[in-house]
Structure 1
Amino acid sequence: MELKALPALVLAWFAISDVLFLSVKGTFNYKDALTKSIVFLEAQRSGKLPPHSRLSWRGDSGLDDGKIENVDLVGGYYDAGDNVKYGLPMAFTVTSLSWTALFYRSELQATRELENVHAAIRWGTDYFLKCTPKKNHLYVQVGDPVLDHQCWMRPENMKTPRTVLEIDESRPGTEIAAETAAAMAASAMVFRRSDRRYSRRLLNKAKLLFEFAKSHKGTFDGECPFYCSYSGFNDELLWAASWLYLATLRPKYLQYIQEEAITANVAEFSWDLKYAGIQVLLSGLYFEGEHSLETYKKQADNFVCSILPDSPYHQVYISPGGLIHLRDGANTQYVTSTAFLFSVYSDMLARHHQKVFCGNQQFDSTHLMAFAKQQMDYLLGKNPLGRSYMVGFGNNPPTQPHHRGASVPVLSSNSLVNCAMSFVYWYTKNAPNPNELTGAIVGGPDRYDNFDDQRWDSSKLEPCTYVNSLSIGVLAKLATHPL
């Protein structure tokens, strides 16, 4: 089914950015920040790299991934500063990139970054297709995280075991299966215009993975303690059903959303907790006439009300400098995720002449976008320290991101380095990384706006793919709609 054949309900939902131009005051070179944010995702690629890579210091890696199980699992993404491929955060990265590519298509075209975003998505979906060789089976991790974290080595030279984890009917993993289904359904919509055959493959896999996730419920804890699903799997099931409904318009998925799904009021959106994203996503359909989804609009409002500082229901901590701070450890993931949802929701509200109601107060689309812009501006340099938290961008950006590939110099392919000594050589060395991790948004300052550029402090210096993936849509909007 081609995109142009979809009913007006979904076409209008995804056409918002084509007809709405919400002006915001320009402060930074958002186009430059956008480009660099995408470049960081390219630095996280595993596998055989394309011939014209934009990062000369990255090379091929993980070319034997899956060999231990006689399967080809080459490709995909490293999640952060280590060399493990985790299924749950990788799938969320692809889902959020796909949402961005759909919702901000015209902005990405205007900035000439749409093809790069499509390439970033496809790098993930090509890998996921390899991870689903048969029904009710999904490979969910490559690499031994315990041993990997005992060696500070760039992926091109790693010698640590490439252990493979998988889920099936006897070892279910509802969260990962459903998130991967969401990623494939959303990306199927992205490629429907340009590659219908590939799009159909993704959508068929998404349908099967959703049925697997729904019929074999259970939390897979194999990625703990690195990626534990504290929120359970109900949000991922609803997330997957929502994307499948948008991709197919089949009543069975809407019925699941209406009758079987469990939802909740929340104050964050992350790789683990999807409810706020679902609520904003489904509000778009509610505004287009699907009145059975009114609850989700109310919950989207509640999410906004829990965050805005001038809301009577505000509950999220805001630093003295104005930054959302939910918890230490890659806190910027909550900053970019909130900014993205506020940006998308502001466009929806403006298009349909709606407002957010927080008790006796009302907030319009411009108010939401102003807050989203404030959060992104903080990361780019408008903060008490006057420094950027994006590597290679703005004033006094981080030079020591907690990242193996960037902090270890390029070595010959036959170099042998003792793992214990690798920390002495490169991890504890108080000097800028030899390779610039361009575009990486690091973990960011603490709750009091304090920050030290020291590699060992992973909570402040480690970047993650899902931090950047959620920054791209907002940056594209800010780059194309200045005052």
Structure 2
Amino acid sequence: MYKDELRGAGPTKQKYLTAARELPPERIRVGFSWDDKQAGETVSCHGVAVQADQEGQVQAGHCPDLPGLDARRLDPIHPNGLAYRLQWGAIRYAINMAFIALMAAEEGLSAAAYRKWAMSQVHFALGDAGHSYVVGFGKNPPQRPHHRGSSCPMMPAPCGWNDQRQAGPNPHTLFGALVGGPDKSGSYSDKRDDYVRNEVACDYNAAFQGAVAALKSLYLRKLYPN
């Protein structure tokens, strides 16, 4: 969207250029979530500044760098390959950052490294770690996500706390939902009441869908990382 707006003139364009100049230069953390937008701002800043630099209005160097994708500059790496940042919804942070890395690659920023790293994080979620963290997909996927509608019985039966505590799989398969994922040690439990590791949320899935679509695009363009 910001690139389209750059083709015109006026206050919207100037707003983006000002943001590009003023974005603080400190390195961003590996993670992108509802309360931390620095990674997305960085990629947007680069796209705006590169275009504006061609017009002699701002230098792309005003934008901070994305973090390097090597073990020395990533947040701690999970035993099975997940870029681990925080306990609550650990996969969410890594997958969201994978989406940002794929966006950065499209801007020409460390494209090969960013694409390969993003692929590793998405593949982790899809089952490369030994089982899938996506409900209804892959090997041994979660069957008891912390989700009210999925865990309630078929209507018109009532739904209550006893349904949350029942031991079997959820009556309804919440296809495609990404759960929170393992803790720092690699431990994961497919338990409905474990809302730290088995919760689902819109902000878990939003960038996940985008990252999967981006990888599909790379495949179709014969750019899929090895």
Whether TM-score is above 0.5 comes out as: yes
Could you tell me how far 1:346 is from its partner in structure 2?
0.9
Could you tell me how far 1:398 is from its partner in structure 2?
0.3
**Residues 295-341 of structure 1, C-alpha deviations (whole Å, 9 max, x = no match):** 21xx2x2x322xx234x4x1401111110111111112201111001
Structure with more of its chain in helix, by fraction = 1
Q: Which one has more relative contact order, counting CA pairs under 8 Å at least 6 apart?
A: 1
**Residues 98-136 of structure 1, C-alpha deviations (whole Å, 9 max, x = no match):** xxxxxxxxxxxxxxxxxxxxxxxxxxxxxxxxxxxxxxx
Partner of 2:181: 444
Answering whether residue 149 of structure 2 is matched by residue 405 of structure 1, we say: yes
Aligned residue for 1:474, secondary structure, equals helix
Question: Normalised by the size of structure 2, how large is the TM-score?
Answer: 0.84
1:252 to 1:479, Cα distance in 2 relative to 1, 3 A: closer
- Of the structure 1 ranges 365-374 and 253-262, higher mean CA displacement relative to structure 2 is found in 253-262
The answer on whether the counterparts of 1:309 and 1:318 sit within 8 Å (CA) in structure 2 is no
Large movers: runs of 4+ above 6 Å: 244-248
Could you tell me how far 1:435 is from its partner in structure 2?
0.3
1:255 to 1:451, Cα distance in 2 relative to 1, 3 A: closer
Aligned residue for 2:35, secondary structure, equals coil
Separation (CA, whole Å) in 1 of partners of 2:119 and 2:10: 33
Partner of 2:120: 374
Separation (CA, whole Å) in 2 of partners of 1:376 and 1:246: 34
The answer on whether the counterparts of 1:330 and 1:444 sit within 8 Å (CA) in structure 2 is yes
The answer on whether the counterparts of 2:49 and 2:60 sit within 8 Å (CA) in structure 1 is yes
The answer on whether the counterparts of 1:402 and 1:456 sit within 8 Å (CA) in structure 2 is yes
What is the aligned counterpart of 1:323 among 71, 82, 87? Answer: 82
Aligned residue for 1:452, secondary structure, equals coil
The answer on whether the counterparts of 2:89 and 2:197 sit within 8 Å (CA) in structure 1 is yes
Flag structure 2 segments of 5+ consecutive residues without an equivalent.
none
Could you tell me how far 1:450 is from its partner in structure 2?
1.8
Answering whether residue 15 of structure 2 is matched by residue 253 of structure 1, we say: yes
1:428 to 1:447, Cα distance in 2 relative to 1, 3 A: same
Asked which structure has the greater CA Rg, the reply is 1
One-letter code aligned to 1:295? H
Aligned residue for 1:472, secondary structure, equals helix
The answer on whether the counterparts of 2:28 and 2:67 sit within 8 Å (CA) in structure 1 is no
Could you tell me how far 1:372 is from its partner in structure 2?
0.1
The answer on whether the counterparts of 1:269 and 1:277 sit within 8 Å (CA) in structure 2 is yes
What is the aligned counterpart of 2:33 among 260, 264, 270? Answer: 270
Answering whether residue 95 of structure 2 is matched by residue 339 of structure 1, we say: no
Question: What root-mean-square deviation, in Å, do the aligned CA atoms of Structure 1 and Structure 2 show?
Answer: 2.6
What is the aligned counterpart of 2:44 among 269, 281, 285? Answer: 281
Partner of 2:140: 396
- Aligned-residue sequence identity (percent) comes to 28
The answer on whether the counterparts of 1:263 and 1:275 sit within 8 Å (CA) in structure 2 is no
Partner of 2:3: 10
Could you tell me how far 1:254 is from its partner in structure 2?
3.5
Question: Normalised by the size of structure 1, how large is the TM-score?
Answer: 0.41
One-letter code aligned to 1:334? Y
1:247 to 1:393, Cα distance in 2 relative to 1, 3 A: farther
Could you tell me how far 1:473 is from its partner in structure 2?
2.1
Partner of 2:62: 295
